[in-house]
Chains A and B, each alone.
Chain A
């Protein structure tokens, strides 16, 4: 016998299911009025410093179908690369947003401040990115990924450098499609499958 480790095991995930909106964004589920407003309506408020951008896209299952029932959460630094709560962080940036695939078209939109580069533990800079977490029916444990920006210098980003198959880096790039506008599509399976993270 050996000493007993006092370490617990994380509770097992379960799918958010088709009605995840009821708990997280009830107005989207057709259930307004329980709370004053849905949580995470916007990751910023008026006066946030930096460039306001809009990211639109869809999330596709393995057949190519744009899913209508996915819910997303985003978490990001402010325009200067500081996370909310860190010293000097922009008080107008909450950094957190919840949004959903449209129930008719599957399209999603995230309107936010373009984040700044963030310093990692080893002192290396991470290129500007937004962390994304995805839940839906058929997803048994929430999927983490990141949105980077094709018009930024991503050459020294430590996470992107870890991707062996270089073409797959492109799956994490939001593409400029107009002034302040980006396109970011997510593919759960098959050709162009998005890089998901165990992080």
Chain B
């Protein structure tokens, strides 16, 4: 039943507002007209699946995956780990988690990033993994740097890691960002501030997790993720009127 039920409708108030003048680009990129709301169909309840054959041995280790193990990336070594569950609190096993981030200096390895902080020859900035049977995932990486961006006069992004999640259906697709406990730039960030529900914003901030850190090696941050769930019922497994 878990794999066939209708998706629980998205709570739009739990998500960022699409239009926010403090994040200027949203002003021309947010739909003006209402979204068409409808119950999910098989088109949203199915989705791509990715197998273990896809994932290389170094894919979830951003410290060495760009240099293929030849030399480590520069920066504070951190482990980022957590669980992917759905709204019914069930684990989401064997689902693809992709991440990308700036290097320790706040520079992305992208043809369009022109910030003058230097590239790290040993850091690419992307990683991926599959959750295990309990929905658990982990990455080893370096703490990303904060960086300035053209928006208002002097806006800076807090340290963050971008996360992309598939779940098991196309309607669960989600991209979000993990912030780091204690970063004073979170409260000043107009992108973080598009999430108006304070509790929801707090859920984007990964706490320091000393118990998961390793002495003389890395600090750990915990980032749990909730994807859309499915309505659990026996009542709608047959066509109407039957």
Contact = CB atoms under 8 A, between A and B. Distances in A.
A183 B35 CA distance: 23
Interface string B205-229: 0000000000000000000011111
Interface stretch (B71-79, B104-112, B130-138): B104-112
B29 A188 contact: yes
Interface in B117-160: 124-126, 128
State the main secondary structure of chain B at its contact with A: loop
30 contacts: A8-B86, A9-B203, A10-B228, A18-B112, A19-B162, A22-B100, A22-B126, A23-B162, A31-B109, A34-B124, A34-B126, A36-B56, A62-B28, A69-B112, A85-B49, A96-B47, A133-B170, A135-B175, A140-B20, A140-B194, A142-B174, A143-B31, A144-B44, A188-B30, A188-B31, A193-B32, A195-B33, A196-B36, A198-B10, A199-B41
Contact of A20 (B30, B175, B203, B228): B175
A199 B26 contact: no
B31 A193 contact: yes
Contact of A19 (B17, B110, B197): B110
Given A15-B191, A96-B48, A197-B36, A138 B25 contact: yes
Given A10-B11, A73-B173, A163-B36, A85 B46 contact: yes
Interface string B11-35: 1101111101001111111111101
Contacts of A10: 10-11, 14-15, 87, 174, 226-228
Contacts of A77: 43
B110 A31 contact: yes
Interface size, B (range): 35 or more
A22 B109 contact: yes
B9 to A, nearest CB: 7
A35 B50 contact: no
A13 B15 CA distance: 6
